[in-house]
Amino acid sequence: MTDTAAAQQQPTIHYPETRRTDTVDHYHGTDIADPYRWLEDDHSAETAAWVSAQNQLTQSYLNYIPFRKQVHARLEQLWNYPRYSAPFRRGDFYYYYKNDGLQNQAVLMRQRGLDGAPEVFIDPNQLSATGTVALGGISFSKDHRYVAVLVAGAGSDWQTAKVMDTRTGQDLADKLEWIKFSGIAWRGNGFYYSRYDAPTEQSKLSGKNEYHKVYYHQLGDAQEMDALIYVDKNHPLRNAGASVTEDERFLLIHTSEGTSGSAIWYRDLQDPAQTELKLLIPGFDHEPSVIDNDGDKLLVLTNHDAPNYKVVLVDPKHPEQQNWKTIIPEQQEVLGHVGTGGGKLFASYLKDASTRVMQYDYQGKLEHDIQLPGIGTADGFGAEKEDKDFYYTFTSFVTPGTIYHYDIATGQSTVYRKPEVKFNPEDYETKQVFFQSKDGTRVPMFLSYKKGLEMKGNTPVLLYGYGGFNIPMTPAFSVSNLFFMEQGGIYAVVNLRGGSEYGEAWHKAGMLEKKQNVFDDFIGAAEFLVKQKYTNPSKIAIRGGSNGGLLIGACMTQRPDLFKVALPAVGVMDMLRFQKFTIGWAWATEYGSSDKPEQFKYLVQYSPLHHLKKGVHYPATLVTTADHDDRVVPAHSFKFAATLQADQGGPAPVLIRIETQAGHGAGKPTSKLIDEATDVWSFTMWNLGMDFKQ
C-alpha cells in the first residue's frame, strides 16, 4: 500500500471538544498560558469524561485498521513461549521466575537443589482477577527462613510488603503499607525499608512526595511500632534508602537530592559504642555506592575523580578521600555495576553499549575476563559469599535471554537453558553504526532487522531512544520489536547523550542546559539513516517512554518534517510544572526547574507542550499513558494531546490511548502488553503505509 493510498483511507476524525480556560502563569516576567490546566485534576468528572471520549475515538480509529486482528494474533503467537529467569540459590532451594507464555505475571518457582521437583512458591496471578497485581521485589532473611515480598497494584509506585515463612509458604501477619522507592534490607529478625506518610485519597496518585523515611520493622510487630531510623526534617525533598552488608555488620543509608548524586551514612552494628549514623561520603556531587565490606572497611563504587568509575576501599573511621585505597582503577570503558559472589567482585563494563565482565578478588587482582557470546547485555553476576557458582542471562536485540551457568573458580560459562521460541533468531541480525551529531560528537546506534533486507531508501524504521538519568540503552530482546522486524522494518536504538554509555561525561553532556544535545543526537540519527539510504522521512516512526517520551515530544515539535509517526509514551511533556507532582521534584537535578530564572529560559525552549504551534503539519501521533501512573502523572500526556489536536495543521491523526488499571509500565500484565503492542504497531504500520505480512 502506498502512502497516498493509506492517506486516502484514513477515517474521518472528529476530536472531542476540550474546554479551554484563560489560566496564565507568570514565570520571571514571562506569561505562559495553560488553557488545559483542568486536566491535571485526576479526580474530576470532567477529566474522566474527557478520558472516556478520547479512548472511544482512539478505539474507533484503531478498529478501522483492516489488519489489526492479524497483528494481535501474531503478537500472541510470538509472546507464547516459556520464559525463565536465571535461578538463584537461597538455602537449600533454587528460586527462579517462570512465565508459561501468556500468563499475566511471571510465577516465582523453587526446587530443592538442581534436580528437585519444581514447585510454585508465589503466584501473583492469584492476587487479582485481572493480573494487575505484580511482585515488586523479594528479599530473603540471612537464615533464608523468611522472605519479604513487595507487591504493587495497577502499576502504581506505591507498594505493600508482606512476609512469608519459606518452610511453610504461609504469610505472617506482618503487613507494611505506603512503601515507595524502597528495597528490603534484612538484619536479624527484621528489616529496614523506606516509606512516606500515608497520603490522602485525593493526593495518592498525583500529590508531591515529601519526607522519605527509613524504618526498621521487627517481625511480628504492627507497622506503627516500627523504629524510625532516618528522616531529614530540614530537606523534605530528599530520598533515603537502606542497605546492609551481607554479613549484617554495616547499615548503610544512601540519601539523594534528586536523581543525580548521593551521600552515604553508615553505622557499624557490631560496635556497641556507635549508636548514631555517621557520614561516610558527603553528597551530592558524585555517585557513590557501597558494594560490600571487607572486614571493617567498605568497598565503594564511585565516580569521584573518575568519570568512568572505579572501586575504592574506604575506612569508615578515616573516610576522607585522601585515605581511600584504589582497588579497581578507572578504565577506558565505563564501569556500570559491581556484583559480589563467592568472595569475588564481578565488574560489568560497557564497551560501546555492550557488556563486558571481569572477575577480581577483593584486593583488585584480575582473575578472569569472562567470555560472553557476542554483542549484547549480560546480567545477574552475583551470588552469596559461600557460593561456588551462579547463573546469569545473556540477551541481544535478536536473541531471547539465554541462561548460563558460571563456575567461579574456573571462569567458565556453559549454557544452562536456551529459550524455545516460535521464530528463528538466525534469520535476524544486528549491526552497530556510528554517526556525527550536530556538534560533531560521535554517537553509536544499533540497527536490527531481517537478514537479506534490501536498503533502497524506503525501509520502515522504528527509531527508539531515551537519553537521560545516566541510564544506558543496551541490547535487549523484545517480542514486540521482533514483530516489527518480521514485518520488514528496521528497529534502531540510539545511544544518546544523557545516558551512561560513556560514563559521567556522556551523562552531563545531555542534562540541564545541555539537554538539547539529546534531541540533536536523535534528530542526527534520523538524518543519518536518510542520508545512508536506509529510509526516508515518510517511513520513520519514533518512539520513547518517560524521559524518552519527552524526547519524542521535543523532536516531533522541533522537526515535524523528519518523522511520519510519533509514539510518545508516559512522557514528561510540561517542563514547567513537572516538579509539582509526585516524585517530579527529584528530576530537577537532571532537567533544572522553572522556579529558577536561568533554568526556565532553556526549559521553555524545548518543553514539548510549549513548543507546539498552530497550523504546523505534525506527524501521525499516538500518545500513550495510564490512569495509575504516579511517576509521570497522565496530565502531561492529557495536556499535550489536547494541545496537539487543537494545533494540528495537517491530515495526520492525533490520538491518545489511556490505559486503565495500569501505571508507568512496571508490572503490566501480559494481556495488556499484547493489547498495547497491537494498537501501537497497527497505528504505526497503517500510517507508514505498510501491509501486514503473514
**Are residues 439 and 517 in contact, defined by beta-carbon separation less than 8 angstroms?**
yes
Closest CA to 453 of 491, 479, 405, 502: 491
For residues 274 and 249, give the distance between their C-alpha atoms in angstroms, rounded to a whole number: 12
For residues 685 and 694, give the distance between their C-alpha atoms in angstroms, rounded to a whole number: 14
Name the burial class of residue 129, with classes exposed (0-12), middle (13-18) and buried (19+) by CB atoms within 10 angstroms of its CB. Answer: exposed
Q: Distances from the Cα of 334 to the Cαs of 346, 380, 520, 523, in angstroms? A: 14, 18, 23, 25
Q: Which helix (H) or strand (E) holds 611?
A: helix 608-611
Residue entry with cell 529560559: 601
Q: Can you name the residues that pair with 379 across neighbouring β-strands? A: 393
Name the burial class of residue 297, with classes exposed (0-12), middle (13-18) and buried (19+) by CB atoms within 10 angstroms of its CB. Answer: middle
Three-state DSSP string of 314-354: EECCECCHHHCEEEECCCCCEEEEEEEECCEEEEEEEECCE
Closest CA to 443 of 459, 427, 451, 432: 432
User: Is 206 a catalytic site residue?
Assistant: no
User: Which of 141, 182, 546, 607 is the catalytic position?
Assistant: 546
For residues 399 and 529, give the distance between their C-alpha atoms in angstroms, rounded to a whole number: 24
Grid coordinates representing 155? 502499576
Closest CA to 657 of 55, 28, 255: 55
User: Is 368 a catalytic site residue?
Assistant: no
Grid coordinates representing 605? 525552549
- 3-class DSSP state of 685: helix
For residues 542 and 677, give the distance between their C-alpha atoms in angstroms, rounded to a whole number: 15
Closest CA to 245 of 314, 310, 196, 179: 314
For residues 462 and 566, give the distance between their C-alpha atoms in angstroms, rounded to a whole number: 10
Closest CA to 423 of 81, 161, 13: 81
Active site residues: 546, 664
